[in-house]
Structure 1
Amino acid sequence: IAVANEKKCLVNILKVEKKTKDRNFHLHIAIAPTKLNDRYEWFLEKAVEIGIDEITPIICKNSERKVIKKDRMKKIIHAAVKQSLQAYVPKFNDAIALDTFLNQQKGSQKFIAHCEDEKNKKFLQDLVKPKNDVLILVGPEGDFTPKEIEKSINLDFIPISLGKNRLRTETAGVYITSLMTLI
Structure 2
Amino acid sequence: MQLFFQPEVSENDKEVRFSKEESRHIIKVLRKREGDRLHLTNGKGWIFETEITLAEANNCSARILQSEKEAPPAYHLHLAVAPTKMNDRYEWFLEKATEIGIQEITPVICDHSERKVVKHERYQRVIQSALKQSLHTRFPVLHEPMSFKEFLEKEHSGAKFIAHCEDSQPRKLLSKSLKNGISATILIGPEGDFSEEEISSALKVGWQPVSLGNNRLRTETAAVVACHTAALINEEE
TM-score for both structures, normalised by structure 1:
0.93
2:184 matched to which residue of 1? 134
Matched, 1:79 2:111: no
Instruction: Measure the CA separation in 1 of the matches of 2:52 and 2:178.
Output: 50
Q: Secondary structure of 2:64's match?
A: coil
Q: Secondary structure of 2:186's match?
A: strand
1:46-57 correspondence to structure 2 within 5 Å: 46-57=96-107
Q: CA shift at 1:10, angstroms?
A: 5.6
1:17 matched to which residue of 2? 68
Relative contact order, CA 8 A, sep 6+: which one is greater?
A: 1
Higher strand share: 2
1:104 corresponds to which of 150, 154, 171: 154
For structure 2, list consecutive stretches of 5 or more residues without a partner in the other structure: 1-50
Q: CA shift at 1:5, angstroms?
A: 6.7
* Cα RMSD for the two superposed structures: 1.8
Matched, 1:174 2:224: yes
1:147 matched to which residue of 2? 197
Write the letter of the residue equivalent to 1:111: F
CA gap 1:14/1:101 in 2 versus in 1, 3 angstroms: same
Instruction: Measure the CA separation in 2 of the matches of 1:47 and 1:161.
Output: 19
Q: CA shift at 1:125, angstroms?
A: 1.4
Q: CA shift at 1:175, angstroms?
A: 0.6
Q: Secondary structure of 1:13's match?
A: strand
Q: CA shift at 1:19, angstroms?
A: 1.1
Superposed CA offset, 1:22-57 (max 9, x none): x31110000000000011011111111111111000
2:86 matched to which residue of 1? 36
2:113 matched to which residue of 1? 63
Instruction: Measure the CA separation in 2 of the matches of 1:9 and 1:135.
Output: 40
In our comparison, the structure showing a higher alpha carbon Rg is: 2
Write the letter of the residue equivalent to 2:191: E
TM-score for both structures, normalised by structure 2:
0.72
CA contact (8 A) 2:53 2:63 kept: no
CA gap 1:89/1:162 in 2 versus in 1, 3 angstroms: same
CA contact (8 A) 2:173 2:210 kept: yes
